[in-house]
Amino acid sequence: MSSWLDHTINGLIVGNVYALVAVGLALIFGVSRLINFAQGSIYLVGAYIGWIAVVHLHTPLPLTIVVVAVASAIVGLIIERFGLRPLQNSVRIAPLLATIGISFVLDQLVMLIFSPNPRALPSQLPDVRFQVGGGTIGPLDLLIAGVGLTSALLLFVFLRYTKLGWAVRATAQDRDAAMQMGVDVNRVNQAVFGIAAALGGVSGMLVGMYYNQIDTAMSLQATLKGVVAEVVGGAGNVPGAVIGSLLLGLVESYGVAVLGTSYRNLFAFLLLVVVLVLRPNGLFTSARQAPPEPLTGTFIAPSRPVNIPRWALWGATAGFAVLPLFPVSFYVLQTLINAWLLGMLGLSLTLVAGTMGQVSLGHAALLAIGAYTSALLSLTLDVPAGLAVIGGGLMSAALGTLLISPSFRLRGHYVSIATLAIGEIVALVILNWESVTRGPIGISGIPPLSLFGYDLISPTSVYWFSLAVMVVLALLQGRLLGSHLGRSFRAIRDDDIAARAYGLSLNRYKSLAFIFGGFAAGISGGIAAHLYSYINHETFNTQQSILALTVVILGGLGNVVGAIVGSVALVGLPEMFRIAAEYRILIYGIVLLLLVRFRPQGLLGTV
């Protein structure tokens, strides 16, 4: 019995830690309707600034907190001024991508300056422990709880009782109306980013002290857990974020208690999905509140797609088809094979996210389902690889659509968060369902691709195969977009109420989009499995999902050719920057930011 008390205490302690990130995220979401993926990076920056202050400047704790808060706030202001403000009037999705780019750049800068090796960040509080239940808590636990609660309380008071706070809330409710009433929206945004960044930085430092460890990998995890907690509490709701965090901590802790450590994150993401399905506005947001997402299609603004003449497309296809006949190195071919595989994933996501308006952040799960199905079919049932890949595509279409269907009623960012969670759940099921997936050991010895009894082993043949598959999928998708079905998809994206009034069944059309998209992604995963010969739960990770989304936004939402161009660019650019070694991801992030800044509708425009 006493262990339940301990599990409860532990859950609250961890929830405490999550709350620090979630509050900052909630604040920004509340005002700018933006999931700030750079919040984890500010947290990272704060931790390292704290390290400099503590280890080199020997500042006392109160001064350390002030230094970190001020420095992080400055970083936040710079991000707001140069990264996000220029995107104010562009597509709603552009700032989201910009924060992803900013987080790349910040993480890489920290890694380059401080080396990726973890560092100890000694706590500056006296090391006394208080006995609580079977375990102990220290002064740092109390400080973290204090900072979390105080900041939530201060923010609550600020938002409710100060003039700037009113301005913030007015801006959150209706930006244009607020502007008309004379609210300086930019100043509001600045204030919010400054406060959120200061909070993020301080929390990174405190958490670093708590674990006596900081490293550059902490950023993405912080963002993930923060987003979950924030949404559980009700996106944009600051006190809700704190309670959501504590709840998340408790659920994880009890999950570990019941089933064991490797199920921990499974519980976190299941909690998120359940909350999203039952109470999409979060647990602590009243149902009366205006829907947090616009009803009509401002999430994805229409733009004029670049018109590429048909002969040019066929010419380019033919050019790539005959490329292996010229003396190009296998390295170039392999890079292009990667681009074609990513292209299939991009086609899938551009249909679902661009044409249908369901921005998925868990697309790697579809790859994984396709890859595992294909690998297991060919290994255990001796299905020829060519058929197994198709089986992978079908399984991905079926299972993917089934898994995603609970989130059909969600809109805008909530779809992204739900798909993010579903993606993580699939990865964790793969890790834990050992009797089928072989768990962390993974599946090795997957036979190479074969077609009609011929093995496709040489890079040239794999190149032709993957190019052909991608072209066929692209042609099908092109036909689809021009058909009645494609127009219905776009109608739902642009105005789902009007579409429904017109007699379109939303769920059915969303299912159709996911079936087609899931098939393309599953095929891509299946081919990858046979190409790699070995896969495990880490092969298709969250980074792949983010990469796929980047491809789609870069190419232009819903744009078939754009998805392929985007894939070639995003596979090619990091390879081209190889010469820059450690600096290449930094350069890649900067290029991404510049693209978003100057071409937010994507290279080829939204269709």
Partner 1 sequence: MSNIDRRTLVKGSLAAMMAGTAVSRSAFAQTAEPILLGVSGPLTGPNAQYGAQWKQGFDLALDEIHAAGGINGRKLAYQFEDSQSDPRQSVAIAQKFVSDPRIVMELGDFSSPASMAASPIYQRGGLVQFGFTNSHPDFTKGGDFMWSTSVSQADEQPLLASYAVRRLGLKKLAVLHLNTDWGRTSRDHFVKAAKEYGAEVAVTEGYIAEERDFRSTLVRVRDASPDGLILISYYSDGALIARQARQVGLKQTICAASSVYSPKFLELGGEAVEDVHLGTRYFPQDPRPEVRKFIEGFKAKYNGQEPDAFNAYSYDAMNMAAAVVKIGGTDRRAIRDAFAKVKDVSSVIYGKATFDLESRRVKGAMNAELVVRKGQFALWDGKPT
Tell me: does residue 539 bind partner 1 (CB under 8 A). Answer: yes
What the block records as the tokens of 121 is 């960040």
Q: What residues between 212 and 251 interact with partner 1 by CB under 8 A?
A: 212-213, 215-218, 221
- Residue 21 · residue 200 · CB < 8 Å: yes
- The smaller minimum CB distance to partner 1, of residues 104 and 408, is found at 104
Tell me: does residue 534 bind partner 1 (CB under 8 A). Answer: yes
- The smaller minimum CB distance to partner 1, of residues 239 and 448, is found at 448
Tell me: does residue 457 bind partner 1 (CB under 8 A). Answer: yes
**What are the angstrom distances between the C-alpha of 291 and each of 202, 282, 294, 420?**
32, 12, 7, 21
Q: What residues between 72 and 91 interact with partner 1 by CB under 8 A?
A: none
Find, among 455, 453, 456, 478, the residue nearest to 465 by Cα. Answer: 456
- The smaller minimum CB distance to partner 1, of residues 529 and 596, is found at 529
- The smaller minimum CB distance to partner 1, of residues 129 and 487, is found at 129
Nearest distance from C-beta of residue 263 to partner 1, angstroms:
10
Nearest distance from C-beta of residue 513 to partner 1, angstroms:
26
What the block records as the tokens of 175 is 């930006």
- The smaller minimum CB distance to partner 1, of residues 82 and 330, is found at 330
Rounded CA separation 154/244 (Å): 18
Of 129-137, 240-248, 483-491, 557-565, which segment contacts partner 1 by CB under 8 A?
129-137
Contacts of 224 (CB under 8 A, 6+ apart): 40, 420, 424, 542
Contacts of 458 (CB under 8 A, 6+ apart): none
Axis-axis angle for helices 560-576, 542-555 (nearest 10):
120
Nearest distance from C-beta of residue 11 to partner 1, angstroms:
7
Tell me: does residue 433 bind partner 1 (CB under 8 A). Answer: no
Rounded CA separation 352/363 (Å): 10
Q: Where are the alpha helices (DSSP H) in 1-123?
A: 2-32, 39-51, 61-78, 93-114
Tell me: does residue 182 bind partner 1 (CB under 8 A). Answer: no
Tell me: does residue 129 bind partner 1 (CB under 8 A). Answer: yes
Among 329, 382, 435, 501, binds partner 1 (CB under 8 A): 329
Q: What residues between 337 and 366 interact with partner 1 by CB under 8 A?
A: 338, 341-342
Strand, helix or coil at 231?
helix
- The smaller minimum CB distance to partner 1, of residues 190 and 461, is found at 461
Would you call 486 exposed, middle or buried from its count of C-beta atoms within 10 A (0-12, 13-18, 19+)? buried
- Residue 366 · residue 348 · CB < 8 Å: yes
Of 192-200, 347-355, 389-397, 581-589, which segment contacts partner 1 by CB under 8 A?
581-589
Rounded CA separation 593/550 (Å): 11
Tell me: does residue 146 bind partner 1 (CB under 8 A). Answer: no
Tell me: does residue 315 bind partner 1 (CB under 8 A). Answer: no
Tell me: does residue 122 bind partner 1 (CB under 8 A). Answer: yes
Tell me: does residue 253 bind partner 1 (CB under 8 A). Answer: yes
Q: Where are the alpha helices (DSSP H) in 134-217?
A: 139-161, 163-173, 175-180, 185-211
Rounded CA separation 202/195 (Å): 11
Tell me: does residue 442 bind partner 1 (CB under 8 A). Answer: yes
Of 29-37, 134-142, 313-321, 479-487, which segment contacts partner 1 by CB under 8 A?
134-142
Q: What residues between 542 and 561 interact with partner 1 by CB under 8 A?
A: 543
- The smaller minimum CB distance to partner 1, of residues 165 and 574, is found at 574
Strand, helix or coil at 453?
coil
Nearest distance from C-beta of residue 483 to partner 1, angstroms:
33
Of 131-139, 184-192, 197-205, 597-605, which segment contacts partner 1 by CB under 8 A?
131-139
